[in-house]
């Protein structure tokens, strides 16, 4: 039986690579749902090629054009955020790939789990915002969450076959991004264009900025806590500029297992879809002679404050990671539109974390409310800082 896949965010970096994996494995997978936010040209092209049952465009303005372009195709077309939240519950879906960016992933993921769909989770922000709720829902509805994030896929692969063997620690590797080794003086003047040049990965704009600022690694620490049931002190970050070692698990006897390979998101995507099987692939193979030196260094939380702030949010728990995420989404947007500088991003996030209303045991409504409030608070702060910048 082919697995029927819904891809939320099919026009993005993860979405398009998921479609490549599906195209290469037509006997294993088929596309059931495709969704995008604005990019209708690509969505139309994908729909014609992969013939899903349903497509959703979340931005309503594009509905008419999409409908017209797909006239005559046996494809149902829906528009709006609510459509996305509902479509994940369709009987004909086996797995939902959450490849949309940011907080927008939360409600569709909750709904998909409630409808009993397994999740291939790329949208790490969902776990950052509400990891505890997602885990509870997954247990309640007997749903598996397969990590797509490469570091978490690496950990997951190291854990296969270990049954109840206790994990002492995990090491998430970080490339260090384009500004590895930069001084605060250098970081103060980096531009958006500099930050968008990632040395090893080609990703969407938001995660590329998060990688440059190390917030991405901070989010991954929080994501790992929930995916693997770890305490903050069991999670460490090590900078590994070559991105060959995916990540490492250290067991209670001191043995360490690492997953390795060339950086290519198609591998973790394929594994998340095919688990427990490994499918044959044509992905480029690693050659030891191309990499005579694999290096490791300590992450610099002094210059890259976001990583320290993420650990702080993790330790505080409650709605603090949700606060961290909402503030980060707003400052990244502001940085991408040249309203604030690179170092103003962590500065604003830290102030917002100090000012926000803390909730110790939040429910889903509290998270929704927190996200809304923090966006308002952060955008006011951004306005102030933007004026200072001028």
| Strand-pair partners of 297 | 239
Least distance (Å) between residue 80 CB and Mg ion:
30
Does 203 interact with ligand NDP (rule: CB under 6 A)? yes
Does 13 interact with ligand NDP (rule: CB under 6 A)? yes
Does 306 interact with ligand NDP (rule: CB under 6 A)? no
**Which residues between 156 and 175 bind ligand NDP (CB under 6 A)?**
none
Identify whether the C-beta of residue 182 lies closer than 8 Å to the C-beta of residue 303: yes
Note if the bond before 299 is cis, omega within 30 degrees. no
Q: Round to whole Å and give the CA distance between 126 and 112.
A: 13
- Considering only residues 25, 104, 153, 270, which one is a binding residue for ligand NDP as defined by CB under 6 A? 104
From 176, 110, 170, 168, select the one nearest 143 (Cα to Cα): 110
Residue 360, classified by CB atoms within 10 Å of its CB into exposed (0-12), middle (13-18) or buried (19+), is: exposed
Query: Which residues contact Mg ion by CB under 5 A?
Result: 149-151
# binding residues, ligand NDP (CB under 6 A): 27
Residue with smaller CB distance to Mg ion, 14 or 349: 14
Tokens coding 208: 């590329």
Phi, psi of 320 (to 5 degrees): -65, -40
Least distance (Å) between residue 39 CB and ligand NDP:
4
Does 207 interact with ligand NDP (rule: CB under 6 A)? yes
Does 265 interact with ligand NDP (rule: CB under 6 A)? yes
* Residue 101 touches which of ligand NDP, Mg ion, none (Cβ within 5-8 Å per kind): ligand NDP
Segment lying near ligand NDP (by CB under 6 A), choices 197-205, 242-250, 357-365, 382-390: 197-205
* Residue 173 touches which of Mg ion, ligand NDP, none (Cβ within 5-8 Å per kind): none
* Residue 39 touches which of ligand NDP, Mg ion, none (Cβ within 5-8 Å per kind): ligand NDP
Does 109 interact with ligand NDP (rule: CB under 6 A)? no
- Considering only residues 47, 101, 313, 356, which one is a binding residue for ligand NDP as defined by CB under 6 A? 101
Segment lying near ligand NDP (by CB under 6 A), choices 31-39, 168-176, 177-185, 303-311: 31-39
- Give the full edge-to-edge strand order of the sheet including 256-260: 256-260, 245-251, 167-174, 235-239, 297-298
Q: Round to whole Å and give the CA distance between 292 and 328.
A: 37
**What would the DSSP string read from start to end of 309-354?**
HHHHHHHH-TTHHHHHHHHHHHHHHHHHTTSS-TTHHHHHHHHHHH
Least distance (Å) between residue 181 CB and Mg ion:
20
CA diameter of the chain: 62
Residue with smaller CB distance to ligand NDP, 330 or 385: 330
* Residue 37 touches which of Mg ion, ligand NDP, none (Cβ within 5-8 Å per kind): ligand NDP
Does 55 interact with ligand NDP (rule: CB under 6 A)? no
Identify whether the C-beta of residue 248 lies closer than 8 Å to the C-beta of residue 158: yes
Residue with smaller CB distance to ligand NDP, 56 or 385: 56
The helix/strand/coil state of 271 is helix
Where helices occur in the chain by DSSP H, the ranges are 13-24, 40-50, 63-69, 81-87, 106-114, 124-140, 150-159, 184-188, 192-195, 205-213, 215-228, 266-274, 305-316, 320-336, 344-355, 364-389
Least distance (Å) between residue 377 CB and ligand NDP:
20
Segment lying near ligand NDP (by CB under 6 A), choices 5-13, 271-279, 325-333, 350-358: 5-13
Q: Round to whole Å and give the CA distance between 112 and 90.
A: 9
Least distance (Å) between residue 220 CB and Mg ion:
6
Does 247 interact with ligand NDP (rule: CB under 6 A)? no
Least distance (Å) between residue 224 CB and ligand NDP:
13
- Considering only residues 37, 111, 175, 243, which one is a binding residue for ligand NDP as defined by CB under 6 A? 37
Identify whether the C-beta of residue 339 lies closer than 8 Å to the C-beta of residue 382: yes
Residue with smaller CB distance to ligand NDP, 124 or 305: 124
- Per CB under 6 A, residues contacting ligand NDP are 9-15, 36-39, 58, 99-101, 104, 122-125, 149, 201, 203-204, 206-207, 265
């Amino acid at each position: 039986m082919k697995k029927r896949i819904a891809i939320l965010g099919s026009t993005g970096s993860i979405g398009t690579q998921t479609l490549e994996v599906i195209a290469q494995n037509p006997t294993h997978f088929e596309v059931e749902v495709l969704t995008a936010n604005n990019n209708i040209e690509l969505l139309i092209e994908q729909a014609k090629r992969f013939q899903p049952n349903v497509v959703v465009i979340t931005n309503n303005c594009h509905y008419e054009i999409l409908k017209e372009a797909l006239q005559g195709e046996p494809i149902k077309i829906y528009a709006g955020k609510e459509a996305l939240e509902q479509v994940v519950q369709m009987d004909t879906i086996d797995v939902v790939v959450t490849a949309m960016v940011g907080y927008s992933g939360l409600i569709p993921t909750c709904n998909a789990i409630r409808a009993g769909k397994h999740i291939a989770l790329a949208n790490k922000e969902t776990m950052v915002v509400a990891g505890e709720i997602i885990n509870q829902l997954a247990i309640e509805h007997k749903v598996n969450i397969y990590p797509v994030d490469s570091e978490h896929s690496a950990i997951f692969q190291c854990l296969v076959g270990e049954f109840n063997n206790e994990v002492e620690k995990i090491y998430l590797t970080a490339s260090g991004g384009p500004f590895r080794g930069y001084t605060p003086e250098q970081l103060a003047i980096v531009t958006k264009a500099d930050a968008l040049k990632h040395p090893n990965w080609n990703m969407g704009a938001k995660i590329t900025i998060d990688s440059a600022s190390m917030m991405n690694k901070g989010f991954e620490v929080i994501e790992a806590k929930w995916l693997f049931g770890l305490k903050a002190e069991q999670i460490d970050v090590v900078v590994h500029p070559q991105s060959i070692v995916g990540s490492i698990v250290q067991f209670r006897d001191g043995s360490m297992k690492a997953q390795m390979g060339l950086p290519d998101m198609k591998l973790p995507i394929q594994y998340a879809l095919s688990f427990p099987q490994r499918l044959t692939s044509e992905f480029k193979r690693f050659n030891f002679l191309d990499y005579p030196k694999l290096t490791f260094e300590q992450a610099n939380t002094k210059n890259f404050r976001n990583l320290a702030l993420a650990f702080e949010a993790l330790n505080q728990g409650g709605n603090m990671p949700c606060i961290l995420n909402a503030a980060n989404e707003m400052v990244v947007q502001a940085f991408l539109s040249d309203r604030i500088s690179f170092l103003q991003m962590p500065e604003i996030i830290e102030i917002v974390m100090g000012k926000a209303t803390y909730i110790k045991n939040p429910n889903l409504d509290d998270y929704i409310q927190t996200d809304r409030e923090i966006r308002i608070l952060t955008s006011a702060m951004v306005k102030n800082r933007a004026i200072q910048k001028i």
